[in-house]
Amino acid sequence: MKTISVPVLLLLAIGLGSMVFGASAQSYPGKPIRLMVPFGAGSGSDIAARFFGDQLSGFIGQPVVVENRPGANGVIGVMAAKTAPADGYTLLLGSWTTISVNPVAVKDLPYDPVQDFKPVSGLTRSMISIAVPGNSAIKSLADLVTQAKRAGSFVNVGTYSTGFQIILETFNATAGIKLINVPYKAAGQLHTDVMGGQIDAAMDGTTSLGPMYRSGKLRLLAASGERRDPVFADIPTFRESGYPDFLAWGWSSFFVRAETPEDATQKLADAMQKVLNTNATQEFAKKNGSDLMLMGPAAMRKFQVDEIGKFRRVAAAAGIKPE
């Protein structure tokens, strides 16, 4: 009986392992993918997640199943993704709240958005606006600034998250004024109070304010994008209103755990670039007053890090501390 030498056995084992790994890499994804959404059903994030999940499913040949895990400023949903296996079968819908604001605003945050996760693809970004009651004497952003600068006068602006508060403070620093932040727990009460004149103004996503703006119950003074949105074509930007350096976005993107194999991450990233270039996706963004974020993993990582740094600087200057 012929004896096989140890070196030959090692080579055979290595070759067999390579064949198994290659087959595994080629077969991904071989089962449904879970998509963790840190916000409730029916929210803007949930609507986006379901749309992009369906579109992604068509390109990878597997269902993408949305799981809503709301609560604690998105921490519960992010932790559900962090504790799932790092095998490419769990996606996280990341947003400016969970990825950029929470590291600045939440004390003892149980996850690190840079160390624990890596980007797959950008999704959408939406502008942010300052709104006043429809019958307010404040007709423009210039009026708002003039009112805030008037001796003995003050302007109250409601926000319902630390993210919007930080953006408000960014505008304060840019304009050299002090708009007074009034914190709310939810958007619904904020909208009710600004429409009723209980507060002077509110800061929220332009799309979220849209229905009240179209009904005449609110007036939008300015939007935070680079140029006017066709859906809100009569709303000037902060830039054209005299603040060329002021830009701010609410945004979302897909992430996976940092330890996820690179081949799985790349397959998801490649599929998402195809999704972002379909007519259906372009129509979805247009209908919702959003821009598509055509960013792959590297570009999204740079954007993510830049956003966290920006929020840290503004929060520090404004004295906003984690709670």
Query: Is the C-alpha dihedral spanning 228, 233, 237, 240 positive or negative?
Result: positive
How many whole angstroms separate alpha carbon 223 and alpha carbon 204?
A: 10
Sheet holding 218-223, edge to edge: 180-183, 156-159, 201-205, 128-133, 218-223
Label residue 26 by pLDDT band (50, 70, 90).
low
pLDDT tens per residue across span 258-301: 999 999 999 999 999 999 999 999 999 988 888 999 999 999 99
How many whole angstroms separate alpha carbon 53 and alpha carbon 34?
A: 9
What pLDDT is recorded for position 230?
86
36: enclosing H helix or E strand:
strand 33-37
Average pLDDT of the chain is 90
Instruction: Reply yes or no on whether the pLDDT at 9 is more than 50.
Output: no
What pLDDT is recorded for position 5?
52
Name which of 119, 141, 269, 261 is nearest 201 in CA terms: 141
The domain 128-232 having CATH identifier 3.20.20.110: the answer here is: no
pLDDT tens per residue across span 148-158: 999 888 999 99
Instruction: Reply yes or no on whether the pLDDT at 21 is more than 60.
Output: no
pLDDT tens per residue across span 196-255: 999 999 999 998 898 999 999 999 999 999 999 888 999 999 999 999 989 999 999 999
Same fold for the pair 31-126+249-318 and 128-232: yes
In this structure, the number of other CB atoms found within 10 A of the CB of residue 268 comes to: 24
Task: Give the lowest-confidence range in 43-47, 137-141, 207-211, 266-270.
Answer: 43-47
Class of residue 101 by CB neighbours under 10 A (exposed 0-12, middle 13-18, buried 19+): buried
The domain 31-126+249-318 having CATH identifier 1.10.10.10: the answer here is: no
Residue 293 near residue 123 (C-beta atoms within 8 A): yes
**How many Cα atoms are found within 13 Å in the side-chain-facing hemisphere of 114?**
13
> What's phi and psi for 45, nearest 5 deg?
-65, -40
Instruction: Reply yes or no on whether the pLDDT at 10 is more than 70.
Output: no
pLDDT tens per residue across span 48-85: 999 999 999 999 999 999 999 988 888 999 999 999 99
Residue 252 near residue 45 (C-beta atoms within 8 A): yes
- pTM of the predicted model over 0.75: yes
Q: What percent of the chain has pLDDT over 70?
A: 92
Write down the domain spans for the chain.
31-126+249-318, 128-232
What pLDDT is recorded for position 78?
97
